[in-house]
């Protein structure tokens, strides 16, 4: 398709092209807003009846106003092009998310399907709309994290139009398609979407579609037949049994075995989130597309039944109810027709319900004469009119209005006004639910900035403490919403803790490398390790620690210059300095190029002198310690600690390391502790070897097996055995806390057991 042109819109870019339609990103000029435009393929727009159905159902879809549904703004035709103007959503599909992750957590999957169920419940109750193509790629998560259903009210129409062009095309996607869809049944209801959502939930938590690996036509045969898929708990053992029972229930092959409506689905989801089993009896085994694992038993379920007859009776009951509903519908249609043909004046205008505006109302016509009415019918009409007038005047009191119309329906039974009252009850019920939902949507919108700023507790409290309009009626939904927000906070907190723990572990590993290079290599090697690790993006939050360590090491590497500079105060004076080669009495002349320049008198030659120089490395450890400065300086404490450790003055080393940077001190002291233990172990080894020699055994370096063999080959003389026991007891007392004594326990027992 060339660059699209539609009056009133600036086309920005193509978002995708499919066999049935193309999608474009555009700017609606009149409102200066970004929208998405779906343009039907020309091959889809050839049949007049198809186009009329498409326009009608698109207009019904446009009536759906729900935060979880991509809003349809308009539907129109121009120059043979049929297009739908929709809300533009910048985000990603659940399919994209699943492809990145491989499998979603149970918590995330339940959150997604609960949001989808909420949207589908609204569409089913408001306009009787079903989707018929629920799958991860038709669920979008926008930039705010809101879950939105795409193509609701349109997928079925467009797909049906496509089916007319291609006899082999079937409505829906085989892996998510309900058995009744796969068979081509025409009387689909919300339970078809419930099956599809169950198939999507299975995919989200296992990473596998139903009947994965088979061609589409084979999958459709398997959907309608007895074929089953592996229990999700076998694929993903982390899943709760409660979730697996829910999936089994939603994927019942006979729709009468599934939840009856979306309210039941959402109730079961809520129960599973709380660790409870789905409501109602257990399906007989073999009824569902999901094969039941041995890990799940009927005893798991709080309410169980294994009677297949009960399920069949329920199916029979549903068919009976369906027939009764059909009879009532036909009778209602006849009554309505009689009413419309017999009434000489137009019916009274419908009540203006909360949240709606009645437009295009027809004023009552002037009727010159009115036929006489039956008194019973007259009373019924007056009763209905009074209830209708009361409802108009009390727009917010839905419950009382419904109660009044229920009374009309009961007391005018057998008249058209009873049917009219029932119709008003249905409208009021839908309007009431819509008003309640508007409260929830308004609260969600109000707390969205708080959630963005991660003030989850305030957001949850705002929703749970709401005391405005319909507070009591929306309490249960608000509690669930508050719980979801708190779970969101908990998940974020846990994620932060996990990330912080990973950073701490990485920092710990870096400090280990830093100390190792400082002790075993050089200050330069340690400093280079410090510079390299400071560039690690994972450790960017440790910037202050790295800055402190850089200052410490830069000052440490300048210690020798500081020592040499300490001789500046003695220029022109005769001093005695301790060099590694011995003490030297000189007159300090100058400091140059990191060296001390001195003049030494040659006593053997009278007044003769000679010039000598030395640097910091020429000084004895004692001279260096004296000229380093105060231990309160972290770099001085570190330098002195390193010198003490090198000379095995472990007590001094620990004292000095305790005064250096806290970032390093604990690790350095641990190194000293290990060195001390090693030294004591060496002393313990030497002492035991000496003990054995005193007892007449000639042993070499410690070799447990060799030493035991020496003891086995030669017994301790009887007069010396008591002395041997005493020597071992003293040895144990002297070295009781050493690792070596533990390693040599068998040798000590061999000595005392002779």
Cα dihedral sign, 715-717-718-720: negative
Q: For the chain, report the end-to-end CA distance as a whole number of angstroms.
A: 101
Active site residue 133: yes
Mean pLDDT, 10 residues at a time, the chain of 754 residues: 78 80 90 90 66 74 89 86 90 92 95 96 90 93 89 57 43 88 89 97 97 93 95 96 97 96 96 94 92 86 44 43 38 36 36 31 35 73 90 85 91 86 88 86 91 92 91 92 92 90 94 94 93 94 95 94 94 94 94 94 77 94 90 93 92 94 95 92 94 91 93 87 92 91 92 81
Q: What is the pLDDT of residue 399?
A: 87
Q: What is the pLDDT of residue 372?
A: 53
In degrees and rounded to multiples of 5, residue 461 shows phi and psi of: -70, -40
User: Torsion over CA of 148, 153, 157 and 159, rounded to 10 degrees?
Assistant: 20
Q: What is the pLDDT of residue 53?
A: 66
Spell out the domain ranges in the chain: 1-88, 92-158+168-306, 319-356+374-435, 447-496, 674-752
Q: What is the pLDDT of residue 148?
A: 94
**Identified catalytic residue from 50, 114, 133, 268:** 133
Cα dihedral sign, 168-172-176-182: negative
448: closest CA among 436, 435, 463? Answer: 463
CA gap 231, 243 in Å, rounded: 11
Return the CATH fold of 1-88.
Phosphorylase Kinase; domain 1 (3.30.200)
Neighbours of 37 (CB within 10 A): 25
Determine contact, residues 11/68, Cβ cutoff 8 Å.
no
Neighbours of 295 (CB within 10 A): 13
- Tallying the residues shown for the chain, one arrives at 754
Tokens matching residue 699? 């042993």
Q: What is the pLDDT of residue 476?
A: 92
Architecture of domain 92-158+168-306: Orthogonal Bundle (1.10)
3-state secondary structure of 133: coil
CA gap 733, 721 in Å, rounded: 19
Determine contact, residues 739/682, Cβ cutoff 8 Å.
no
Determine contact, residues 169/162, Cβ cutoff 8 Å.
yes
Helix (H) or strand (E) holding 141: strand 139-142
CA gap 104, 258 in Å, rounded: 24
Q: What is the pLDDT of residue 323?
A: 38
Q: What is the pLDDT of residue 50?
A: 64
Phi-psi region of 589 (alpha: psi -120 to 50; beta: other; left: phi over 0): alpha
Tokens matching residue 604? 């053997």
Which residues neighbour 597 within 8 Å (Cβ) at sequence distance 6 or greater?
A: 588, 589, 590, 591, 611, 613
List, as one string, the DSSP characters of 324-371. HHHHHHHHHHHHHHHHHHH-SSPPPPPP--TT----SPPPPPP-S--P
Tokens matching residue 52? 């009329």
Strand partners, 600: 610
Sheet of 139-142, strands arranged across: 91-93, 139-142, 147-149
Please tell me what DSSP assigns to residue 631: T
Q: What is the pLDDT of residue 365?
A: 34
């Amino acid at each position: 398709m060339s660059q699209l042109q539609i009056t009133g819109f600036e086309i920005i870019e193509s978002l995708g092209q499919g066999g049935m339609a193309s999608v474009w990103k555009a700017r609606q000029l009149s409102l200066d807003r970004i929208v998405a435009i779906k343009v039907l393929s020309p091959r889809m727009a050839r049949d007049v009846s198809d186009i009329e159905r498409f326009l009608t159902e698109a207009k019904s879809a446009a009536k759906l106003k729900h935060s979880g549904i991509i809003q349809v703004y308009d539907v129109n035709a121009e120059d043979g092009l049929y297009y739908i103007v929709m809300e533009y959503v910048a985000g990603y599909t659940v399919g994209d998310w699943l492809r990145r992750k491989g499998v979603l957590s149970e918590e995330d999957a339940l959150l997604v399907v609960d949001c989808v169920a909420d949207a589908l419940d609204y569409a089913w109750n408001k306009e009787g709309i079903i989707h018929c193509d629920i799958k991860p790629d038709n669920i979008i998560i926008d930039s705010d994290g809101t879950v939105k259903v795409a193509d609701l009210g349109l997928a079925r129409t467009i797909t049906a139009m496509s089916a007319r062009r291609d006899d082999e095309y079937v409505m829906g996607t085989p892996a998510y398609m309900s058995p009744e869809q796969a068979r081509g049944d025409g009387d689909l209801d919300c339970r078809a979407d419930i099956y599809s959502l169950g198939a999507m939930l299975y995919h989200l938590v296992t990473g596998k579609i139903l009947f994965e690996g088979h061609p589409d036509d084979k999958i459709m045969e398997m959907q309608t037949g007895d074929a089953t898929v592996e229990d999700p708990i076998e694929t993903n053992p982390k899943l709760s049994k409660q979730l697996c029972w829910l999936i089994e229930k939603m994927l019942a092959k006979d729709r009468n075995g599934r939840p009856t409506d979306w309210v039941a689905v959402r109730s079961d989801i809520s129960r599973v989130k709380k660790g409870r089993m789905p409501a109602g009896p257990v399906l007989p085994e073999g009824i569902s597309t999901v094969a039941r694992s041995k890990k799940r038993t009927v005893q798991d379920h709080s309410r169980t039944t294994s009677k297949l007859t009960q399920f069949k009776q329920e199916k029979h009951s549903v068919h009976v109810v369906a027939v009764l509903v059909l009879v009532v519908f036909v009778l209602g249609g006849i009554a309505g027709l009689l009413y419309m043909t017999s009434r000489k004046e137009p019916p009274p205008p419908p009540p203006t319900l909360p949240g709606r505006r009645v437009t295009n109302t027809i004023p009552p016509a002037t009727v010159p004469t009115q036929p006489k009415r039956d008194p019973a019918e007259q009373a019924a009409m007056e009763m209905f009119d009074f209830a209708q007038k009361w409802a108009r005047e009390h727009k917010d009191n839905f419950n009382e209005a419904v109660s009044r119309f229920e009374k009309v329906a009961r007391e005018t039974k057998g008249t058209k006004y009873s049917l009219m009252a029932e119709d008003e009850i249905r409208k009021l019920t839908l309007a009431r639910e819509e008003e309640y939902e508007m409260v929830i949507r308004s609260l969600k919108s109000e707390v969205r900035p708080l959630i963005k700023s991660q003030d989850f507790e305030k957001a949850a409290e705002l929703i749970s403490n709401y005391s405005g309009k319909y507070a009591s009626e929306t309490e249960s939904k608000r509690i669930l919403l508050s719980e979801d927000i708190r779970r969101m906070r908990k998940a974020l907190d846990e994620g932060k803790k996990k990330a912080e723990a990973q950073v701490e572990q990485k920092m710990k590993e870096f400090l280990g490398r830093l100390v190792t290079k400082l002790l075993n290599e050089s200050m330069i090697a340690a400093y280079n390790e410090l510079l390299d690790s400071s560039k690690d993006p994972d450790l960017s939050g440790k910037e202050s620690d790295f800055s402190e360590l850089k200052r410490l090491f830069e000052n440490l590497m300048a210690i020798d210059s500081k020592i040499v500079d300490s001789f500046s105060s003695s220029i022109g004076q005769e001093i005695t300095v301790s060099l590694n080669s011995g003490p030297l009495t000189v007159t300090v002349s100058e400091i140059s190029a990191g060296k001390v320049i001195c003049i030494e008198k040659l006593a053997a030659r009278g007044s003769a002198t000679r010039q000598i120089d030395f640097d910091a490395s020429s000084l004895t450890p004692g001279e260096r310690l004296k000229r380093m400065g105060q231990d309160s300086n972290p770099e001085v404490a570190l330098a002195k600690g390193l010198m003490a450790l090198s000379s095995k003055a472990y007590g001094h080393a620990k004292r000095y390391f305790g005064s250096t940077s806290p970032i390093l001190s604990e690790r350095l002291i641990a190194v000293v502790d290990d060195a001390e233990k090693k030294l004591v172990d060496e002393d313990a080894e030497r002492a035991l070897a000496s003990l054995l020699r005193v007892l007449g055994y000639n042993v070499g370096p410690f070799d447990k097996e060799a030493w035991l063999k020496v003891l086995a080959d030669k017994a301790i003389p009887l007069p010396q055995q008591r002395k041997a026991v005493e020597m071992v007891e003293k040895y144990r007392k002297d070295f009781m806390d050493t690792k070596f004594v533990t390693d040599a326990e068998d040798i000590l027992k061999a000595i005392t057991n002779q």
